[in-house]
Amino acid sequence: MSGIFRLTIRYLLYNRLKSITLVLCVSLAILLPVLLQFGVTQFEQDLMARAHATPLVAGMKGSRFDLALQSMYFSQADLETTSMQEVETIQETGYALPIPLAVRFTAQQAPIAGTTLDYFEFRKLEVADGTSLQRLGDCVVGANVADRLQLKPGDRLMSDPLNVFDLSGNYPLKMRVAGVLAQAFSPDDDAVFVDLKTEWIISGIGHGHQSIDAETDKDLVLQQQGQSTVANAAVPQFNEVTEENLASFHFHGDIESFPVTSMILVPHDPKSEVLLLGMYDTKESAIQLIRPVEIVNELLQLVFRIKQLFDANTLLVSISVGLLLALVFILSLRLRQRERQTMFQLGCSRSTIWKLQLTELCFILAASLVIVAVLTLVLRVYIHQLMRMWFI
């Protein structure tokens, strides 16, 4: 080992607390802008990729950002619902394939997305284990949900109650896990997919209960009109759809009036897309049609403006750390003046003495860069998950 390296390593080890502090200071100063740049780039890529993969989204007029983010990321936004009637209307135009989405409930904190099988085809989602949705009460879970909750086909997953104190509200539904989706590295990994009808059962629009005999269950009957029997709330409802009780599940009302929170529209061609946009671009229309790419671009412009603030902050932090390093270096030079004088008297050249000081500085910087490189590598692996966990 060269003498200079030996002396440098010995000095840094002897003053390890000072060395570690300096290394951490420099690492943080470098890591901060790297992290920010990395995060913003990943954020941009993630958002844009999903936005590009979602041509059009329709929903009730209101916050465009909420509509876009919920339709793409199943974020919990209190969107005003539209009805299946609108889905039918768009279907009838022949301009696009409408994929309805109803995202109002959660199961173990994972969003429940009520949709049709078209969604799986549209997003190219594949079932890794088990089957797709088979019947009412089935769910297919994203890879991350399955991993987090240790779910496999055949298991049961309970939906979360909206309000535990609201006894008249919706009852949690115990869903059967029909399948687990393959990892898609998208928000679909963190969602629980159910058929629209299952979502409506969770919301209380549909239900199943024991059959009532007007003659024997008189205390359960409120009204009897010909073939129609109106029962009271004491009738026990099923909280799980089974093969035995499947036939008892039914919906009250007209299916066209049933709610969906938004729809993803897949136009058949660019002309159809323009026609669709024109169709809903009126003041009278209660529905708004948005291009997620435009919404995400707006969102990113806001993010970049915030990033500029962070960049300025990072610059100031870097200058501070640079000054701190300079101060430490100068103080170290002053403190070690006698050591340098001794070395000089022992025949050490002034250039070697400076090399020694600079090597120490280089070691600090090199150690900091190694830490930054390792953390950056780790970050590269987990940035996707981290960004989704923190920001989306």
Partner 1 sequence: MIRFQQLQFRYPHSAFQLNIPQLEVREAEKVAVVGPSGCGKTTLLNLISGILVPDQGTLISCDVDLNQLNDSQRRNYRISKIGFVFQEFELIDYLNVRENILLPYYINQALKLDQSVEARARDLAASMQIDQYLAGRIDQISQGERQRVAICRALLPQPQILLADEPTGNLDPANKRLIRDLLLEHATRTNATLIMVTHDDRLLDQFDRTIDIEQFHEVVSKS
User: Do residues 118 and 180 make contact, with C-beta atoms less than 8 angstroms apart?
Assistant: no
Q: Among candidates 306, 289, 275, which has minimal Cα distance to 86?
A: 289
Q: Which is nearer to partner 1, 353 or 361 (CB)?
A: 353
Among 63, 297, 352, 376, binds partner 1 (CB under 8 A): 352
Shortest spacing between CB 351 and partner 1, in angstroms: 10
Q: Which of residues 14-43 bind partner 1 (CB under 8 A)?
A: 14-15
Among 226, 236, 270, 347, binds partner 1 (CB under 8 A): 347
Q: Which is nearer to partner 1, 32 or 348 (CB)?
A: 348
| Among 13-21, 29-37, 159-167, 253-261, the segment contacting partner 1 (CB under 8 A) | 13-21
Q: Which is nearer to partner 1, 6 or 268 (CB)?
A: 6
Residue for token pair 């041509």: 55
Among 304, 344, 354, 391, binds partner 1 (CB under 8 A): 344
Q: Which is nearer to partner 1, 304 or 344 (CB)?
A: 344
> Is 349 a residue that touches partner 1 (CB under 8 A)?
yes
> Is 342 a residue that touches partner 1 (CB under 8 A)?
yes
* Token pair of 239 as six digits: 């909280």
**DSSP structural state of residue 247:** G
Q: Which is nearer to partner 1, 346 or 381 (CB)?
A: 346
Cα–Cα separations (whole angstroms), residue 262 to 109, 160, 290, 346:
21, 21, 11, 82
Among 205, 348, 365, 386, binds partner 1 (CB under 8 A): 348
Q: Which is nearer to partner 1, 16 or 124 (CB)?
A: 16
**Whole-angstrom Cα Rg for the chain:** 31
User: Do residues 87 and 100 make contact, with C-beta atoms less than 8 angstroms apart?
Assistant: yes
**DSSP structural state of residue 284:** S
What whole-number distance in Å separates Cα of residue 227 and Cα of residue 379?
65
Binding mask 354-373 for partner 1 (x = CB under 8 A): --x-----------------
> Is 343 a residue that touches partner 1 (CB under 8 A)?
yes
Size of the site for partner 1 (CB under 8 A): 23
**In 3-state terms, what secondary structure has residue 225?**
strand
Phi-psi region of 111 (alpha: psi -120 to 50; beta: other; left: phi over 0): beta
Shortest spacing between CB 12 and partner 1, in angstroms: 9
Residue 82 has, within 13 A of its CA and on its CB side, a CA count of: 25
Q: Which residues, other chains included, contact 72 with Cβ-Cβ below 8 Å and sequence gap of 6+?
A: 50, 51, 54, 57, 187, 292
Q: What H or E segment, with its residue span, contains residue 100? A: strand 96-107
> Is 13 a residue that touches partner 1 (CB under 8 A)?
yes
Shortest spacing between CB 320 and partner 1, in angstroms: 28
Q: Which residues, other chains included, contact 365 with Cβ-Cβ below 8 Å and sequence gap of 6+?
A: 26
Identity of the residue numbered 132: S
What whole-number distance in Å separates Cα of residue 287 and Cα of residue 83?
11
Among 163, 216, 228, 345, binds partner 1 (CB under 8 A): 345
Among 252, 283, 334, 338, binds partner 1 (CB under 8 A): 338
Shortest spacing between CB 300 and partner 1, in angstroms: 52
Shortest spacing between CB 4 and partner 1, in angstroms: 8
Q: Which residues make up the interface to partner 1 (CB under 8 A)?
A: 3-4, 6-7, 10-11, 13-15, 338-339, 341-349, 352-353, 356
